């Protein structure tokens, strides 16, 4: 089996309204980098790949055939507090303040304008189980 570099065997793929704005949100909020895009004849995003360090997600513009979807993502970052602030500045809604969790992460949560939840987490513990 061949899996392209930067992708996983399972890669999140979401459908959003306002694809260009959503790509800009991911760049501003989380530092994601656009690594590929194809567009439909009408100019809307057919597929856009966004790289988050070692992981990639795919985005398409929602349509009647493929309505908007939402998901929850667990995103590891170097600094949860700074990442939360960037996400809020980029237009996300805070759903949980960043706080130290009993499982070894400092974690906060935001919801983006498309309804996706992002758990922004900074690993504090070297213990792989907690």
Calpha distance 60→78 (Å, rounded): 28
Calpha distance 76→32 (Å, rounded): 12
Residue labelled with tokens 């760049």 = 27
Q: Which residue has the higher pLDDT, 66 or 7?
A: 66
Average pLDDT of the segment spanning 99-108: 95
Average pLDDT of the segment spanning 4-20: 92
pTM above 0.75, yes or no: yes
What one-character DSSP code corresponds to residue 71? -
Looking at the domain assignment, is residue 130 inside a domain?
no
Average pLDDT of the segment spanning 117-121: 98
Whether 8 shows a pLDDT value over 90: the answer reads no
Whether 98 shows a pLDDT value over 70: the answer reads yes
Calpha distance 80→77 (Å, rounded): 6
Q: How many domains does the chain contain in total?
A: 1
Q: For the chain, give percent helix, strand, coil, nearest 5.
A: 15, 40, 40
Domain with 72, as residue range(s), is 13-123
Looking at the domain assignment, is residue 48 inside a domain?
yes
């Amino acid at each position: 089996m061949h899996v392209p570099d930067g992708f996983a065997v399972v890669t999140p793929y979401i459908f959003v309204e306002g694809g260009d704005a959503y790509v800009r949100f991911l760049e501003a909020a989380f530092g994601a980098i656009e690594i590929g895009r194809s567009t439909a004849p009408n100019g809307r995003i057919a597929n856009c790949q966004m790289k988050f360090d070692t992981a990639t997600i795919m985005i398409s513009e929602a349509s009647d055939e493929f309505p908007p979807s939402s998901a929850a993502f667990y995103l590891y970052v170097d600094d949860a507090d700074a990442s939360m602030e960037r996400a809020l500045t980029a237009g996300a809604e805070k759903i949980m303040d960043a706080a130290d969790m009993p499982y070894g992460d400092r974690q906060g949560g935001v919801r983006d304008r498309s309804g996706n939840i992002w758990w922004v987490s900074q690993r504090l513990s070297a213990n792989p189980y907690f």
